[in-house]
A and B are shown apart, each in its own frame.
With several copies, the nearest count.
Chain A
Amino acid sequence: MITVFIEPDNETLHFERLKTVLLLQQRLGLRVNDALVIRGDMLLTPDCRLQDGDEIRIRKVISTG
């Protein structure tokens, strides 16, 4: 199980069996440079593998104001 927290929507989602960041981005309808993908204090590139128990923050970058 992977826990995903989406900013700035403040929404939490859970996914089973998502092998890579790219698959997560596709599930969320995001392209490579639409959002930061954060694990701990690191940024992840699309090819990074996700692990069971990962907590990921998605920070969308298009400014809204």
Chain B
Amino acid sequence: MKCRKCKAPAEIDLPSHNTACCRACFAEYFTGQVDKAIRHHGLINPGERVLVALSGGKDSLSLMLELSRQGYDVTGLHVDLGIPVSSAAARAKVENFCTARGLKLKVVELIKEGLPIPDVKQYIHRPICSACGKIKRHWFNRVALTDGFQVLATGHNLDDEVARLFANTLRWDAGYLSDQGPCLAAESGFARKIKPLYRLTEFETACYAFLNGIEIHTAPCPYSSGATFTGHKKLWSDLEYTSPGTKIAFYDGFLKRGRPAFAQVDKDQGRAVAPCTTCASPTSTGVCGVCRLKIAVTERRAADPDRQTDPDRQ
């Protein structure tokens, strides 16, 4: 198989785009797709500072590298969840990556913040993945706000976005369908949220990470029983295999013809947003959701006999 562009031996076969690439032309292709996303949807304006959420996986590290290569002013943010073994491994991958490439990195340690995920799992009776996601988003928003970033970038790829859009379309969730997309405008004290990899598949970000020698964290989270959208990803893999190009056509078609229809539908009125009285994050509930989580965890941990230093039991 030869590179369609330069006829060198191909390393990457991309039936969805009816093409195949050598590694040099793939790098160009990848850059072009990210650039197209940024220009087409106004994701980053000149001079803006971009905070990139870094989990340590292939998508987030690839995004960080590509944005820095395109000359954007990027800083990574890693949230250390405080899960034994797993969190230290993920954090090491992120730190090594940023150090080796000379990229700026901030780390939030949930243990220091009094809200490590193992405690949330132990003391809060709700699905841990949902609480953990909420806490991570809280910190991304909070660091963007307090450190003056205009833009918050995440590594969501086309497969993530299509699976999520599909789930929301199955339910015809009008609220969600009115604003899903690669750019969520800044609002009520939150930074603009962008997904510059939305045109690239999981396979393509994995190729990019490999070809750039990025060491990634691949171990699944010990608390997760599997990906939320795995079932739909399989279905979409079948659709894409049968009709190459279906994924991007579905997502682009939604942005062009689906979302505008739902955007006309009246949105529910936003409630008044004010700074959280504890942490200053924008919230409509006085004390924000994560600060309330922290209060609950702190109280229950203090009341837990197994977590107190009991001289009789030592």
> Are A65 and B220 interface neighbours, CB within 8 A?
yes
How many CB-defined contacts (below 8 Å) exist between A and B?
70
Which A residues lie at the B interface, using CB under 8 A? 7-8, 31-34, 36, 38, 42-48, 59, 61-65
> Are A45 and B227 interface neighbours, CB within 8 A?
no
Closest Cβ–Cβ distance, residue B244 to chain A (whole Å): 9
Once the chains are docked, how many angstroms separate the CA of A63 from the CA of B217?
A: 11
Once the chains are docked, how many angstroms separate the CA of A48 from the CA of B220?
A: 31
Which B residues lie at the A interface, using CB under 8 A? 1, 10-16, 20, 23, 57-59, 159-160, 201-203, 206-207, 210-211, 218-221, 224, 226-227, 230, 233, 237, 240-241
Write out the residue numbers on chain B whose beta carbons fall within 8 Å of the beta carbon of A43: 11-12, 23, 207, 210-211
Given contacts A33-B201, A43-B207, A45-B1, A62 and B227 within 8 Å (CB-CB): yes
Closest Cβ–Cβ distance, residue A65 to chain B (whole Å): 5
> Are A64 and B230 interface neighbours, CB within 8 A?
yes
Q: Looking at the complex, which one of B11, B14, B58, B211 makes contact with A44 (CB distance below 8 Å)? A: B11
Given contacts A38-B210, A45-B20, A65 and B221 within 8 Å (CB-CB): yes
Residue of B nearest to A62 (CB): B233
Closest Cβ–Cβ distance, residue B211 to chain A (whole Å): 7
Closest Cβ–Cβ distance, residue A26 to chain B (whole Å): 13
Write out the residue numbers on chain B whose beta carbons fall within 8 Å of the beta carbon of A45: 1, 10-13, 20
> Are B206 and A61 interface neighbours, CB within 8 A?
yes
Once the chains are docked, how many angstroms separate the CA of A8 from the CA of B57?
A: 13
> Are B221 and A33 interface neighbours, CB within 8 A?
no
> Are A8 and B220 interface neighbours, CB within 8 A?
yes
Which DSSP category, helix, strand, loop or mixed, fits chain A's interface? loop
> Are A32 and B206 interface neighbours, CB within 8 A?
no
Closest Cβ–Cβ distance, residue B91 to chain A (whole Å): 15
Q: Looking at the complex, which one of A33, A48, A63 makes contact with B14 (CB distance below 8 Å)? A: A33
Once the chains are docked, how many angstroms separate the CA of A31 from the CA of B219?
A: 22
Closest Cβ–Cβ distance, residue A56 to chain B (whole Å): 14
Closest Cβ–Cβ distance, residue A18 to chain B (whole Å): 18
Residue of B nearest to A47 (CB): B1
Write out the residue numbers on chain B whose beta carbons fall within 8 Å of the beta carbon of A65: 220-221, 224, 226-227
> Are B202 and A61 interface neighbours, CB within 8 A?
yes
Given contacts A31-B237, A31-B241, A64-B220, A46 and B206 within 8 Å (CB-CB): no
Once the chains are docked, how many angstroms separate the CA of A31 from the CA of B14?
A: 12
